[in-house]
């Protein structure tokens, strides 16, 4: 099982210097994100599951629909899967996500007596991580989001935007699995900057460093980007 909490001794060198420069440039382009207030862990868990393979707007719409319709996670746990699916259809992959969400809610209640993850607050971060990744549909990114946004643990979740940008900038090797990317990137970033870097990279991935047709000319990270350099070289040779 990957070790989630392995950031105590940050390495010095190119990676650390590059992430510091990235943070400065991204902050200049987008502003420093506000530190998010800690949210209820079950809320963060469900919201992050809904965010998988969809846009932020769609996942938020599905989450709000779910909360509005059921009013409590106990009610959602007792509901038919079809009712959950209808609420989250806007979030995409509802046939897969609905049974996963209900099963997780029921499993938490069966193990703890209620649909709450507050007990994880008293656990060591690694223990909390290990508990969360046992659930079907909860991978490293989702578990680390719960730790970061519910319990203020200075971890570094890596979603598709973060992975893509850091790969293009040369911070991740071509063979680095997505499930282990947080272990590589986390130590390069000061603990107090990890949440801001996570949010800034997501914003940058959505607006500029897109998977298709990235807007390299307007990218604030252009001078640090190996991908853009190779892209320009290829265009030059073809000209």
Q: Are 128 and 113 in contact (CB under 8 A)?
A: no
- The pLDDT mean for the chain works out to 90
Q: What predicted TM-score, i.e. pTM, was given to this entire model?
A: 0.88
pLDDT tier for residue 232 given thresholds of 50, 70 and 90:
confident
Q: Is the pLDDT of residue 158 over 60?
A: yes
> Catalytic site residues?
141
User: Helix crossing, 226-238 with 160-168: angle to 10°?
Assistant: 60
Share above pLDDT 90 across residues of the chain, in percent, rounded to a whole number: 79
CA distance 165 to 145: 18
Average pLDDT over residues 50-74: 90
What values do phi and psi take at 220, rounded to 5? -70, -15
Class of domain 41-151: mainly alpha
- Between 206 and 14, where is the model more confident? 206
The model's pLDDT over 97-150, given as tens digits with 9 standing for 90+, comes to 999 999 999 999 999 999 999 999 999 999 999 999 999 999 999 999 999 999
Q: Which CATH number fits domain 1-38+154-239: 3.30.70.20, 3.40.50.300, 1.10.1670.10, 3.30.70.580?
A: 1.10.1670.10
Closest CA to 221 of 10, 20, 56, 12: 20
Closest CA to 15 of 198, 174, 189, 157: 189
Domain boundaries, the chain: 1-38+154-239, 41-151
């Amino acid at each position: 099982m990957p070790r989630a909490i392995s950031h105590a001794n940050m390495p010095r060198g190119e990676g650390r210097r590059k992430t510091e420069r990235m943070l400065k440039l991204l902050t200049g382009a987008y502003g420093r994100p506000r530190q998010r207030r800690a949210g209820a862990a079950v809320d963060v868990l469900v919201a992050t599951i809904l965010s998988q393979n969809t846009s932020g707007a769609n996942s938020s719409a599905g989450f709000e629909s779910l909360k509005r319709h059921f009013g409590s996670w106990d009610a959602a746990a007792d509901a038919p899967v079809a009712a959950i699916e209808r609420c989250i259809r806007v979030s995409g992959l509802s046939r897969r996500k609905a049974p996963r969400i209900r099963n997780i809610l029921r499993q938490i209640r069966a193990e703890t007596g209620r649909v709450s993850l507050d007990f994880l607050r008293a656990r060591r971060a690694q223990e909390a991580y290990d508990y969360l990744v046992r659930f079907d549909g909860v991978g490293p990114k989702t578990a680390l989001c719960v730790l970061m946004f519910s319990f203020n643990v200075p971890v570094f979740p890596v979603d598709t935007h973060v992975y893509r940008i850091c790969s293009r900038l040369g911070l991740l090797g071509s063979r680095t699995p997505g499930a282990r990317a947080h272990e590589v990137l986390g130590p390069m970033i000061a603990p107090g900057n990890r949440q801001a870097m996570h949010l800034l990279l997501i914003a940058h991935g959505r607006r500029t460093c897109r998977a298709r047709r990235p807007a390299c000319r307007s990218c604030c990270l252009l001078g640090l980007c190996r991908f853009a350099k190779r892209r320009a070289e290829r265009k030059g040779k073809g000209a």
